């Protein structure tokens, strides 16, 4: 790898207007990977210039989502460093310092046009189907006049004196991108209330934080020439830009609540694993490689090249994520799967009320996620498994591994082990529809009760010889037993399930079911 020409410093700058959605999370991820990969520095900055929409709560959420993904920052909230502070609201003095500089060098000028005047101009332009850019009316106002009007209390803004010509910047993914300066004209950098405008704030932050590479969504491409103009006015080095393609929902619109899960926490509540979500997010806009499903963050840093990203927007596909999650689960060892399951089931409150959570799980992932969120915001303590539940979870883990895509799948599949036998109407009907069910159940109970060593290898042959002995089709025997022990038609392997129940419970359940018919 070529020696980096300078110290690499990147930043991720979300605005705290809500939770961190997957699109932003992805931007954070790429920044992190790029920084680590190049032995660079990663700064987390909070763009809370928009006071009305920013909340401290949101900052906390962002911080926690970043941590959950393992994206540690070198500098930022809770990790102060040389470039503090990290909230734009706390950086006002810095902005004004730079503003002074620009005013001093004549790059900025005061504009007294009122919003109404500008609006009129804009409307006129629109009526003529003409592009509107600021006319530059106040551009040549003599300094004395400006001073006098200011003193008189007239409201004014500060505009950038944009030079004529073109502005070209380099994009790491697309090469040179060119804009005509007169397509945007002299833009405002300081509002009449003295606050600073977005484009100025970003540039000042990036300059003062010595950012070398700006990695952000491609919705910022159009802002970039204005920012470059500011860099140049400041005499600062223009960083490299990498505008990454946006992430859309299945309807090709920006990801929003309507698309189901749009934040990490919701996905994990539905039983997706962060490891997988991270890799999925990373590999959108890049060539898929099956081996990457199990990659760790460190693997991504080592092997994933942000410069190889595609340039067109991609759509978030929950189906593929689900498949990837299943693949990931299947390559997990017994112990680790057991741990993950335990952690997950605790979080969704399964151990507290298995039956109730089972109902939720059957209602769908959204219901489950909503319940988790509700519990967490109410700060209800998660109830860890008792000894018996823990043992059961561990034993079951390898038996359900092949059947799960998300951890939540465990609940409908194996939830019945954790509660007393119960039959729904459908289960009873199925049982009654199964030939000789009562006889099969009774006979199986008797045979199993007589088994001295309770092991899968002993249970299986016993059950397998039942069909012939009773003159019933094998399928009917298995179906009756499955329904009889669990009350449902989908379970882990039959012999293993009987074994997990233990002799007494298994025999008891089968007898109970038989009595029902």
Q: Is 493 in the site for RNA (CB under 7 A)?
A: yes
> What kind and span of H or E run contains 111?
strand 108-111
Q: Is 257 a catalytic residue?
A: yes
Q: Among residue numbers 109 through 148, which ones bind RNA (CB under 7 A)?
A: 113-115, 118, 122, 129-134
With contacts defined by CB under 7 A, name the span among 323-331, 333-341, 355-363, 368-376 that binds RNA: 323-331
CA atoms of 327 and 324, how far apart (whole Å): 5
Binding-site member from 343, 489, 502, 504 for RNA (CB under 7 A): 489
Concatenating the DSSP letter of every residue in 477-514 gives HHHHHHHHHHSSS--S-HHHHHHHH-HHHHHHHHHHHH
Exposed, middle or buried: residue 202 (CB in 10 Å: 0-12, 13-18, 19+)? buried
Shortest separation between residue 132's beta carbon and RNA, angstroms: 5
Q: Is 206 in the site for RNA (CB under 7 A)?
A: no
With contacts defined by CB under 7 A, name the span among 33-41, 231-239, 324-332, 345-353 that binds RNA: 324-332
Concatenating the DSSP letter of every residue in 275-307 gives HHHHHHHHHTTS---GGGGG--HHHHHHH--GG
Q: Which residue has the tokens 């700058």?
A: 13
Shortest separation between residue 192's beta carbon and RNA, angstroms: 3
Concatenating the DSSP letter of every residue in 461-475 gives HHHHHHHHHHT--HH
Binding-site member from 31, 38, 61, 157 for RNA (CB under 7 A): 157
Q: Which among 7, 257, 473, 475 is annotated as catalytic?
A: 257
Binding-site member from 32, 86, 184, 416 for RNA (CB under 7 A): 184
Using CB under 7 A as the criterion, what x/- string covers residues 338-377 for binding RNA?
----------------------------------------
Which residues, 6 or more positions from 358, have their beta carbon under 8 angstroms from its beta carbon? 411, 412, 415, 416, 419
CA atoms of 416 and 414, how far apart (whole Å): 5
Could you tell me how many residues of this chain bind RNA (CB under 7 A)? 82
> Virtual CA dihedral for 26, 327, 361, 252, nearest 10 degrees?
40
Q: Is 195 in the site for RNA (CB under 7 A)?
A: yes
Enter the tokens of residue 154: 């007239």
Of 198 and 231, the one with the shorter C-beta distance to RNA is 198
**CA 63 distance to own-chain centroid:** 13
Of 119 and 376, the one with the shorter C-beta distance to RNA is 119
Q: Is 197 in the site for RNA (CB under 7 A)?
A: yes
Of 260 and 493, the one with the shorter C-beta distance to RNA is 493
Enter the tokens of residue 45: 């900055």
Q: Among residue numbers 69 through 108, which ones bind RNA (CB under 7 A)?
A: 88
Q: Which residue has the tokens 């939830």?
A: 415
Q: Is 180 in the site for RNA (CB under 7 A)?
A: yes
Q: Is 50 in the site for RNA (CB under 7 A)?
A: yes
Which residues carry out catalysis? 257
């Amino acid at each position: 790898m070529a020696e980096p020409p300078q110290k690499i410093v990147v930043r991720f700058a979300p605005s705290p207007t809500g939770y961190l959605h997957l699109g932003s999370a992805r931007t954070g991820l790429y920044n992190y990977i790029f920084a680590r990969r190049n032995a660079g520095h990663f700064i987390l900055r909070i763009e809370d210039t928009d006071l009305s929409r920013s909340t401290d709560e949101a900052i906390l959420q962002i911080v926690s989502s970043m941590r959950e993904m393992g994206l540690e920052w070198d500098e930022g909230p809770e990790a102060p460093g040389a470039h503090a502070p990290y909230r734009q609201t706390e950086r006002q003095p810095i902005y004004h310092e730079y503003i002074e500089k620009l005013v001093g060098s004549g790059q900025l000028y005061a504009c007294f046009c009122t919003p109404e005047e500008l609006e009129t101009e804009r409307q006129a332009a629109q009526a003529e189907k003409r592009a509107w850019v600021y006319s530059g009316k106040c551009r040549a106002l003599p300094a004395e006049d400006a001073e006098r009007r200011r003193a008189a209390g007239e409201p004014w803004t500060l505009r950038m004196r944009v030079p004529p010509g073109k502005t070209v910047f380099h994009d790491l993914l697309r090469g040179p991108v060119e804009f005509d300066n007169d397509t945007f004209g002299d833009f405002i950098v300081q509002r009449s209330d003295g606050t600073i405008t977005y484009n100025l704030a970003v540039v000042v932050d990036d300059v003062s934080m010595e950012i070398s590479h700006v990695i952000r969504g491609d919705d910022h491409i159009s802002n970039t020439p204005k920012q470059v103009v500011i860099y140049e006015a400041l005499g600062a080095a223009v960083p490299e830009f990498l505008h990454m393609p946006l992430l859309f929902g299945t309807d090709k619109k920006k990801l929003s609540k309507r698309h189901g899960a749009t934040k990490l926490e919701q996905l994990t509540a539905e039983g997706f694993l962060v490891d997988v979500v991270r890799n999925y997010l990373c590999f959108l806009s890049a060539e898929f490689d099956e081996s990457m499903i199990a990659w760790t963050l460190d693997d991504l840093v080592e092997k994933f090249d942000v410069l190889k990203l595609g340039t067109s927007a991609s759509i978030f596909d929950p189906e593929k994520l689900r498949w990837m999650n299943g693949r990931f689960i299947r390559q997990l060892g017994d112990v680790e799967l057991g741990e993950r399951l335990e952690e997950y089931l605790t979080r969704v409150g399964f151990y507290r009320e298995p039956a109730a959570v089972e109902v939720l799980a059957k209602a769908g992932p959204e219901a489950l996620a909503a319940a988790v969120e509700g519990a967490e915001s109410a700060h209800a303590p998660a109830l860890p498994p008792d000894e018996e539940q823990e043992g059961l979870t561990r034993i079951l883990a390898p038996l359900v591994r092949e059947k799960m895509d998300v951890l939540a799948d465990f609940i409908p599949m194996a939830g019945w082990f954790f509660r007393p036998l119960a039959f729904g109407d459908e289960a009873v009907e199925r049982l009654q529809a199964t030939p000789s069910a009562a006889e099969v159940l009774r006979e199986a109970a008797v045979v199993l009760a007589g088994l001295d060593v309770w092991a899968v290898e002993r249970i299986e042959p016993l059950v397998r010889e039942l069909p012939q002995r009773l003159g019933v089709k094998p399928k009917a025997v298995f179906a009756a037993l499955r329904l009889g022990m669990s009350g449902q038609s989908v379970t882990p392997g039959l012999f293993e399930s009987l074994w997990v129940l233990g002799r007494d419970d298994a025999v008891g359940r089968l007898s109970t079911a038989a009595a029902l018919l």
